[in-house]
Amino acid sequence: MSEDGTALFTIGELARATGLTVRTIRYWSDEGALPPVTRSTGGYRLYDAGSVARLELIRTLRELGLGLDDVRKVVSGEQDIASVAATHVAALDAQIRSLKVTRAVLSTVARRGSTAEEMTLMNKLARLSAAERGRIIDDFMEETFGGLDTADPDIRTRMRFGLSDLPEDPTPEQVDAWVEMAELMQDLGFRARMRKMIEFNAADRGPDVPAGTSLWFMSRLVQLAGEALEQGVTPESPEAEAVLNGLLGDADRAAVLDRMESAAHVEVARFRELTALVRGTEPLPAHREEFAWVVAALRHRVAR
């Protein structure tokens, strides 16, 4: 009993009242989170009713994952609970993000049957900082468009917009897509294929050709080929020639076929899908049937 008549408790009595172990209470006391109010004549630590309330607060904060240093600051009044909680939330967010990255990497490894070397690369790519991921994108854009000033600027704009960074709270699927997309952007063969596509575009455009013409051509292709498919016009039929004339005019069929085959490559199509997955949007329609119809019609005529 204290001088003012308040009941005092030993560590053992606190342990029995709260269900905590003596060892835990002693440790928290040693760390300064639960200082005794006084000591007995025999040197034992003694606590009062306020200590019991403080002990419950310490237990709650520890169960929420706060470190003892933060706990000590809260119970001593050095820092309010709200600010400590906000700091802890930020730390948890970072931990959750890291766990999502880990889960995505392991899921990809399991699905692909990856080697140890591939797993190391995927883990490295997934854990890059935002600045490092941005440099990969910038390097890819420069490798694809650098020096090709006559390329349609609308294509550059669309591609750069499509190459989004990971969102703040990415899903495992988005992390997985980013890893695959980053691998493609750093693959020399894929870079060369994308560069070739833009070189084709730059060679086709004169100084007076307005921006967006390339996209208009694609829209026109989808329209005309789609109508041919609806009407049952086969790529080998004489009627297909009229469709090609309406789309290409007197352009070199072999050159157009080369460009079409490059743009329709499976890796290019996959790249478009990945960019949409990272952005969290639905992929744009690929119009594979329309492109395949035009490619087949061109091959039939170029081969003759």
Q: 184-217 pLDDT, tens per residue?
A: 999 998 898 888 888 877 766 666 666 666 666 7
Degrees, nearest 5: CA angle 84-63-37: 75
- pLDDT confidence bin for 166, thresholds 50/70/90: confident
Cα–Cα distance measured from residue 230 to residue 112, given in angstroms and rounded to the nearest whole number: 39
What local confidence, expressed as pLDDT, does residue 1 receive? 46
What local confidence, expressed as pLDDT, does residue 178 receive? 87
**Which residues are registered as beta bridge partners of 45?**
39
Q: For residue 117, what are the contacts with CB-CB under 8 A and spacing of at least 6?
A: none
DSSP output for 203-229 = HH--TTPPTTHHHHHHHHHHHHHHHHH
C-alpha 168: how far from its chain's center? 8
Degrees, nearest 5: CA angle 272-277-279: 100
Q: How many CA atoms lie within 13 A of 109 on its CB side?
A: 16
Residue 67, token pair as written in the block: 């470190």
Degrees, nearest 5: CA angle 7-9-14: 130
- pLDDT confidence bin for 2, thresholds 50/70/90: very low
What are the tens digits of pLDDT across the range 53-71? 889 888 888 888 888 888 8
The residue whose two tokens read 């119970």 is 75
Query: What pTM, to 2 d.p., does this model score?
Result: 0.56
The residue whose two tokens read 């709260």 is 18
What are the tens digits of pLDDT across the range 239-259? 988 888 887 777 777 877 777
Among the residue ranges 26-35, 139-148, 207-216, 225-234, the one predicted with the least confidence is 207-216
Residue 14, token pair as written in the block: 């606190």
What local confidence, expressed as pLDDT, does residue 5 receive? 46
Nearest in space to 263 (alpha carbons), one of 205, 204, 194, 179? 194
What local confidence, expressed as pLDDT, does residue 204 receive? 64
